[in-house]
């Protein structure tokens, strides 16, 4: 076993007495390749038939641009909204005591567990002009469902747990002594929050924000029911992929897919960098 591990790892692994490196890493990489990398490479290579100019041609189409702008824009705004309210929810759940706290805490994970199609149908029911919430906004001249606002509502729904769950453990571990020190030095509560607490939780907030953003960019099931799906207005990029497929334009669909894939990969890489940076920050 150890022999195998050493022969497999060559010089790129720091020595360890623990066994199983070759087996587990080998299996993990093989499985990752079969399930994730091989299929994704099929996606990445498909638009190659278009050539560079054809690829750019697909992306420069005004409808594709509008859809990408909506998907990324709405996902960004939803992530901002979630970062703000998610911080309040996480803060309240960690710091205060109030009735039904445990139930609320459990509920935060609902968007993970609730199927996206179910979420989409019920959100559309509630936020439609004749729905519970939609009818409240209708007299104000605000329509939520079937407009870009509807897209936003769905994306807020699916993104919330990422922010809250990223923040909770960090808020829990936050050293109160630092806050006390700040107070005894004469800082107001707001100053303490701004200058002491916020910097400490910023990496977690950024991670949550980025995760919510990455998940929202690609979301499909919950959005299509509530979006209205108007080209150039409320048509999201994943829907455009589906539309291209239905026109038998596989390469075009894959081209949009590649752009979105590249974006999610960059976001995840960024998250890992932020986390590594904050870990190093903590150590020093």
Partner 1 sequence: MANRLNRLVCGGAFAIGLFAGVSAARADTTLLNVSYDPTREFYKAINEGFAAKWKAETGEDVTIEQSHGGSGKQARAVIDGLEADVVTLALAYDIDAIAQNSDLIDKDWQKRLPHNSSPYTSTIVFLVRKGNPKNIKDWPDLLKEDIQVITPNPKTSGGARWNYLAAWAYALQQSGGDEAKAKQFVGNLYSRVPVLDTGARGSTTTFAQRGLGDVLLTWENEAHLAVKQLGADKIEIVVPSASILAEPPVALVDSNVDDHETRKVAEAYLEYLYSPEAQEIAAKNFYRPTDQAVATKYKSQFPEIPLVTIADTFGGWQEAQKKHFADGGIFDQIYRPGQ
Partner 2 sequence: METQTAGPATAAKVRRATTESPLVRWALIATGMLFIALVLVLPLISVFMEALSGGFATFFQAVGNADTWQAVRLTLLVAAIAVPLNVVFGLAAAWAVAKFDFRGKSLLVTLIDLPFSVSPVISGLIYVLLYGANGWFGPALKELDIKIIFNVTGLVLATVFVTFPFVARELIPLMQEQGRDEEEAAISLGASGWRTFWYVTLPNVAWGLLYGVLLCNARAMGEFGAVSVVSGHIRGLTNTMPLHVEILYNEYDFVGAFAVASLLAGLAIVTLVAKSLLEWRYGDRLAGGRKH
Q: Tokens 């769905």 appear where?
A: 154
Per-residue binding string, partner 2, 212-231, x by CB under 8 A, is --xx-xxxxx----------
Q: Report how far residue 213's alpha carbon sits from residue 254's, in angstroms, rounded to the nearest whole number.
A: 21
Whichever of 206 and 226 has its CB closer to partner 1, that residue is 226
Interface with partner 1, residue 248, by CB under 8 A: yes
Neighbours of 141 (CB within 10 A): 6
Whichever of 69 and 265 has its CB closer to partner 2, that residue is 265
Q: Report how far residue 67's alpha carbon sits from residue 87's, in angstroms, rounded to the nearest whole number.
A: 29
11's tokens: 């010089």
What is the H or E stretch that residue 118 is in? Answer: helix 116-127
- For 230, phi then psi, to 5°, come to -85, 125
Per-residue binding string, partner 1, 130-149, x by CB under 8 A, is xx-------------xx---
Whichever of 143 and 179 has its CB closer to partner 1, that residue is 143
Residue 154 CA, chain-centre distance (Å), reads: 13
Among 192, 203, 252, 255, binds partner 2 (CB under 8 A): 192
Whichever of 246 and 282 has its CB closer to partner 1, that residue is 246
Residue 230 contact, options partner 2, partner 1, none, Cβ 5-8 Å cut-off depending on partner type: partner 1
Q: Report, in Å, the least distance between residue 130 CB and partner 1.
A: 4
Q: With CB under 8 A, what is the number of residues at the site for partner 1?
A: 29
Interface with partner 2, residue 6, by CB under 8 A: no
Residue 246 contact, options partner 1, partner 2, none, Cβ 5-8 Å cut-off depending on partner type: partner 1
- Planar angle of CA 207, 210, 213, nearest 5 degrees: 150
| Secondary structure (3-state) at 84 | helix
Q: Residue 221 in contact with residue 120, Cβ under 8 Å?
A: yes
Q: Residue 87 in contact with residue 193, Cβ under 8 Å?
A: no
Whichever of 216 and 253 has its CB closer to partner 1, that residue is 253
- Planar angle of CA 172, 176, 180, nearest 5 degrees: 160
| Secondary structure (3-state) at 105 | helix
Neighbours of 14 (CB within 10 A): 6
Point out which span in 56-64, 211-219, 227-235 binds partner 2 (CB under 8 A).
211-219
Interface with partner 1, residue 229, by CB under 8 A: yes
Q: Report, in Å, the least distance between residue 118 CB and partner 2.
A: 4
Interface with partner 2, residue 95, by CB under 8 A: yes
Among 79, 236, 239, 241, binds partner 1 (CB under 8 A): 239
Q: Report how far residue 170's alpha carbon sits from residue 112's, in angstroms, rounded to the nearest whole number.
A: 21
Which residues between 65 and 104 bind partner 1 (CB under 8 A)? 66
Return residues touching partner 1 (CB under 8 A). Answer: 1, 4, 23, 27, 61, 63, 66, 124, 128-131, 145-146, 224, 228-233, 239, 242-243, 245-249
């Amino acid at each position: 076993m150890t022999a195998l591990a050493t022969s497999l790892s060559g010089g790129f692994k720091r020595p360890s007495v623990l066994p199983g490196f070759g087996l587990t890493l080998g299996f993990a990489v093989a499985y990752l390749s079969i399930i994730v990398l091989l299929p994704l490479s099929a996606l990445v290579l498909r638009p190659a038939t278009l050539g560079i100019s054809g690829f750019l041609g697909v992306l420069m189409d005004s409808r594709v641009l509008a859809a990408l702008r909506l998907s990324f824009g709405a996902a960004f705004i939803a992530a901002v909204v979630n970062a703000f309210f998610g911080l309040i929810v996480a803060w309240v759940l960690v710091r205060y005591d109030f009735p039904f706290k445990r139930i609320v805490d459990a509920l935060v994970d609902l968007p993970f567990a609730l199927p996206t199609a179910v979420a989409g149908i019920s959100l559309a029911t509630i936020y439609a002009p004749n729905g519970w919430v939609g009818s409240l906004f209708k007299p104000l001249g605000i329509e939520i469902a079937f407009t870009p606002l509807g897209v936003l509502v769905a994306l807020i729904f699916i993104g919330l747990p990422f922010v809250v769950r990223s923040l909770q453990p960090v808020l829990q571990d936050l050293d109160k002594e630092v806050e006390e020190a700040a107070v005894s030095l004469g800082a107001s509560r707001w100053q303490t929050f701004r200058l002491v607490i916020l910097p400490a939780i910023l990496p977690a907030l950024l991670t949550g924000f980025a995760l919510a953003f990455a998940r929202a960019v690609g979301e499909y099931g919950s959005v299509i029911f509530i979006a209205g799906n108007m080209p150039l207005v409320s048509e999201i990029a994943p829907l455009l992929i589906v539309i291209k497929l239905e026109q038998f334009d596989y390469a075009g669909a894959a081209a949009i897919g590649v752009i979105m894939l590249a974006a999610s990969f960059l976001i995840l890489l960024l998250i890992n960098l932020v986390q590594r940076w904050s870990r190093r920050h903590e150590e020093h």
